[in-house]
Amino acid sequence: MLSANNINRKSWIEYEPNSDFPIQNIPFGVFKTKDNEFHIATIIGETIISLKNLEKDGFLNNLNLDENTFQGKSLNRFLKQKKSVWRSVRNKVADLFDLENKESELKIKQGNILFENNKIEMVIPIQIGDYTDFYSSKDHATNVGKMFRDPENALLPNWLHIPVGYHGRSSSIVISGTPVKRPKGQILPKESNQPIFSESRLLDFELEMGFITGQGNKLGDPIDINNAEDHIFGLCLFNDWSARDIQKWEYVPLGPFLGKSFNSSMSPWIVTLDALEQFKVPGEKQIPEVLDYLKFKGDKNYDINLEVLIKSEKSKPTTVSKSNFKHMYWNMRQQLAHHTVNGCNINAGDMMASGTISGPEKGSFGSMLEISWRGTQPVQMPDGSERKFILNGDTVRLSGFASKPGAPRIGFGAVDGKVVG
C-alpha cells in the first residue's frame, strides 16, 4: 500500500507549494556534517531528516529492517532489502511527519534529527559498483545518425531491436556541485589525418536520468521484464559529460572510452519508483515488434519535465533545453531485462543511465551536439557571447520534476557542474 503517496497528506514541516520535496516524495540521500559525520537521510521541503538518528531513536522499529540499516555512509544496505521494506520505510516516514501526528512532532523536535539544508554537505548516496549507459532516445539517435551518417537511414540496423548500451566508469561519477575538469586526449583536427594531444575543444553535456538498482540477481539468472520493477529502487538526474572530439576519434570499433570516462554528475536525492507511480504514461509504440523477453504490459514511461540551463561567469542562466523523460523509446524495464538476459548479474547500487533524452522538437534536444547542430547553429547568451559547446567557466544545471493537476509536484532537485580548465 502506498500510503505515503496520499495527495491530501500535509506535514508539520512547512514548505512552499511548488517544492520538489513535499511529504509525498520522501527521496533518499546521504549528507555529512561539518564534523564529518555521515547521515543517510530524506528531505521534506528544505528540511533534511536524518534516518540514521530516526533509526537510533527507535522511530523505525517493527519495519523488518536489517539491523543498523541506516548507520553507514551509503544506501547500499537498504537497497539490498526487499521492495516491501523500501515501501514500509517511506510510509512510516510520511506518518511520522504527518501534520496530525503531534506526538511524533514533539519527540522528533527534541532529538538530533532535523538539519538545515545550508549547514550540511550532500555526498554520493550509494557505493556504485557498476555503471551502464544506454542509448535509448529514438530522437537523439536519429539526430546523431543524420549528422554523422545517412540522413535517410539515420538509425543503425540493430537500434529498433535492442536497448543499446555500454559499460562506463563508476569511479568518475560525482555528486552535484563537483567541478568538471576539461579532459585531455587524442583528437583529429579538421583537414588532418594525424591526431594530436589536446584539451577537448568540443565539451558537451548529456541530459539523462539514472536508475539505481536494488536487489540483484545471481550470475546466470536473467531478470524477467515482469519482475524488473522489484529490482529498481529509484531515479536521479544524470549529466553524462562528453568530449565529442575525443569520442569521435576513439569510438570505432569498441565504443566510448576517454571521451566519456572523465566525469559524470548525479543529483543527490534518489526518488523512488513508488513516489512516481501516478506519473506513468505510455511510451511510443515499438515497431517492429520486439522479441518476447522485451515485451511488457501497461504504462512504463514516466512524465518527468526536464530542463537544462547554462550560466557563464558573466551572464544570467539561459535555458537551452526543455525535454521530458516520457520521450524515451526503450524503458527502464526493457533496459534491465536486456542487460541481464545473457545471465549478467547486477548488484544493489548499480547505476543505469538512460542515455541522452531528446524530444522531437529542437527546443527539447538533450545535448549541445544537437542544440547547435554540430556547431553550425550557436546558442546566443545574454552577455552577447555564443555557445556551440561548453566553455570553461560555464555551469550546466539539469533539473526535473513530475506534476499533474490535483497532485503534489514530485521533484529531483538539480545537478550542477562547473567546467574548469
pLDDT tens profile 139-163 = 999 999 999 998 999 999 999 999 9
Same domain? 344 vs 225: yes
- Mean pLDDT value across the chain: 97
For 273-284, what is the mean pLDDT? 98
pLDDT exceeds 80 at position 177 = yes
Q: What is the CATH number of the domain that holds 160?
A: 3.90.850.10
pLDDT at 342: 98
Cα 156 to the chain's mean position, in Å?
26
pLDDT exceeds 80 at position 126 = yes
Same domain? 207 vs 279: yes
Same domain? 158 vs 86: no
37-84: per-residue pLDDT in tens?
999 999 999 999 999 999 999 999 999 999 999 999 999 999 999 999
292-316: per-residue pLDDT in tens?
999 999 999 999 999 999 999 999 9
Same domain? 305 vs 410: yes
Distance (Å, rounded) from C-alpha 189 to C-alpha 376? 17
- Our answer to whether residue 167 is catalytic in this structure is no
pLDDT at 416: 98
Same domain? 245 vs 378: yes
Asked, as a colleague might, if the bond just before 17 is cis with ω within 30 of 0, I would say: no
> 123, 151, 168: which is the final residue of a domain?
123
Same domain? 177 vs 280: yes
What's the structural domain count of the chain? 2
Report the first-to-last Cα separation within the chain, whole angstroms: 50
List residues bridging with 40 in a β-sheet. 30
H-assigned helices in 17-82: 51-56, 76-79
Half-sphere exposure of 4 (CA within 13 A, CB side): 27
Same domain? 175 vs 92: no
Same domain? 176 vs 316: yes
Distance (Å, rounded) from C-alpha 238 to C-alpha 226? 26
Half-sphere exposure of 289 (CA within 13 A, CB side): 4
Same domain? 238 vs 356: yes
Q: What is the CATH number of the domain that holds 92?
A: 2.30.30.230
Residue among 108, 306, 82, 118 nearest 215 (CA): 82
> 80, 103, 123: which is the final residue of a domain?
123
pLDDT at 95: 98
196-223: per-residue pLDDT in tens?
999 999 999 999 999 999 999 999 999 9
Same domain? 174 vs 268: yes
Residue among 209, 230, 188 nearest 84 (CA): 230
> 123, 152, 186: which is the final residue of a domain?
123
Distance (Å, rounded) from C-alpha 402 to C-alpha 400? 7
Q: What domain range includes position 284? A: 131-420
Query: For the whole model, what pTM was predicted?
Result: 0.98
Same domain? 108 vs 150: no
pLDDT exceeds 90 at position 1 = no
For 7-29, what is the mean pLDDT? 98
Categorize the per-residue pLDDT at 348 as very low, low, confident or very high, splitting at 50, 70 and 90.
very high
Same domain? 113 vs 185: no
Helix (H) or strand (E) holding 83: helix 83-96
